[in-house]
Each structure stands twice: as structure tokens, then as C-alpha cells.
Amino acid sequence: MRVRAFAVAFGSGLLALLPALALAQTPRSALKICQDPNNLPFANAAGQGFENRIAELMGQAMNLPVTYYNFPNRLAFVRNTLRYKLPDEDYPCDLILGVPQGFDQVATTQPYYRSSFVALLPKGSPWDSVHNSAELAGLLQDASQANLRIGVMDRSPASTWLGKHGLDKLGVPYQLMNPNADQAPWVPLTQDLQANKLNLAILWGPIAAQVVQQDGRFRVLPMVSENGVKFDFSIAMGLRYGEPAWKQEVQAALDAEQEAIKQVLTQAGVPLLPLASASAAAPSKP
């Protein structure tokens, strides 16, 4: 029940007790992470993703062992992980390691990295002369009659960008809500790109970075946000609402490990953009 509901039902006297009640939350015995078990480069059940490495850093900072609760990141992920609770049992997990800042289904920490969508371009092709996303749009418009195929995830900023620039017919959409839970939804796209079934692709930066690290035939070109199309996003950690003491503990660990986390992201090849100052970041609900 939120603070407003308490005030209406019981009056303002109980509001004074809320900070003490929040601080009295049961101490955690583990850092319990909600994750998709087949979601590389972010995370997987074998602990091979960069978010798995970040989880270990957070666990060390909080002096807690790290455990995982696995559920496919499709529809209702938050409801089936962070909010899932059986009667007389504890929540199976307490933290999602990567959500967009301000994602309203969860309370969020301050963002800990910012990245952008990028174009994945094959080296040694006409795309070598392209230095920014505006030039890419112009070159694609000039070649719009050619038999080009551009891989994008459906309903992503990439597909919006193609539409804005009159390039819809060049787009090859792949399902973000792919029902195959045994692989990340972008795997069919990246496999087709590496098999030369696509001429180029536009993907979220961390995903594109994995392709570049696996296959040296490609380079990344950052896509710059423009009117009507936002390509850059700040990423935070997500928690349940109504747990301010836990949120403070997570934020403290995140602050303490910020440099080590940046190293993990850099090693993963994630294209990083400067973060906004903490004072400029949008506040999250407790």
C-alpha cells in the first residue's frame, strides 16, 4: 500500500512511523538477482554475461553471496520475478541489474551507465565512408532502390528511424518477444548478419559489442538521437517499490563499485556515453 493510501485510511499519525518501519526490514542473507537465463551478452544461467560479473562485484561490496532466479525476459518479467511471491515464502529475487532509468514498473537506482543504439557495418564496404548516423541515412536514401536488407528489432528506435527517413522497405524486423526462450531474441538477427543475409543492422550498443568481439568483420557506428527518435538510454538497477532501506544499500554498493563496473562494461566493449550528473537524473519513487 502506498503512502497516500496509508494517509487516507489511517491518518497522518502513522506516516511518522514509516521511516522506522522501512529501516526495520529483514536483513538480506543473499543478493538475489532476477535474470533471464539465456540473455547474453547481459547474463545467462552459466554466469557468462557482463551483468553476472557486475552482480559479483555488488555481492562483494555488500558482503552477500549472489544467487539467481531465472525467468525468460518476455512479457510480465517483473511480475514473474521481482514481484512474485508465494504465501509464507520470501521473494525469490530482489534486484534486476539492467532497466532503463525511470522504468515505472520498478523503483530504480541512479543510472550506472549510458549507451546508445549503433549501426553494425561490415568493413571493406561502401559503409567505410560513413562517419555518423546522418551520413548513413543519406547514403541509404541514395541507395534505396537497391536490394538492401537492414536488420532491426521490431518496435525499436531503429525501426522508428527507418520510418522517419523513408527507409521502411529496407528494414527486416525481428521479434523482440520471440517465443523461443532458449535464446536471446536478437540471436536470429545477429546470426543472419554474420551469414551475410543482411547488409547491416541497427542494435542496442551492448548487443552489437558482442558481435564485434566475436567477429572482426564488423564495426559500430553510434546512432545519434534526433527529433522523434531517441537512441541513447541510461541504465539503472531495478527494485521493488516500498523498500527504501534496501534501495539505499544497493545504491551504496553501486557507488562503491562504480569504477570496477565501468571496467567490466569496457571489457565487454559496451559503447559508453557520459552519464548525466546525479542532480540532473530524474528521481525514482522509493
Phi–psi pair at 149, nearest 5 degrees: -130, 120
* Per-residue pLDDT tens digits for 220-266: 999 999 999 999 999 999 999 999 999 999 999 999 999 999 999 99
pLDDT band, very low/low/confident/very high, at 49 (cuts 50, 70, 90): very high
Q: How many CA atoms lie within 13 A of 221 on its CB side?
A: 21
Q: What's the pTM value of the predicted model, to 2 decimals?
A: 0.86
- The C-alpha atoms of residue 145 and residue 74 are separated, in whole angstroms, by 36
- The C-alpha atoms of residue 13 and residue 47 are separated, in whole angstroms, by 47
- Domains of the chain plus CATH, in order, are 3-113+233-267 (3.40.190.10), 115-222 (3.40.190.10)
- 17 has a pLDDT exceeding 70: no
Radius of gyration of the chain, Cα coordinates, nearest whole angstrom: 21
Q: What is the DSSP letter of 126?
A: G
Cβ–Cβ under 8 Å, residues 164 and 228: yes
In this structure, the strands spanning 171-174 and 150-153 are parallel
DSSP strand E in 123-225: where? 150-153, 171-174, 200-204, 218-222
Q: Which residues pair with 117 in a beta bridge?
A: 204
Residues 6+ away with beta carbon under 8 Å from 279: none
C-alpha separations of 223 from 105, 216, 232, 254 in Å: 27, 20, 8, 28
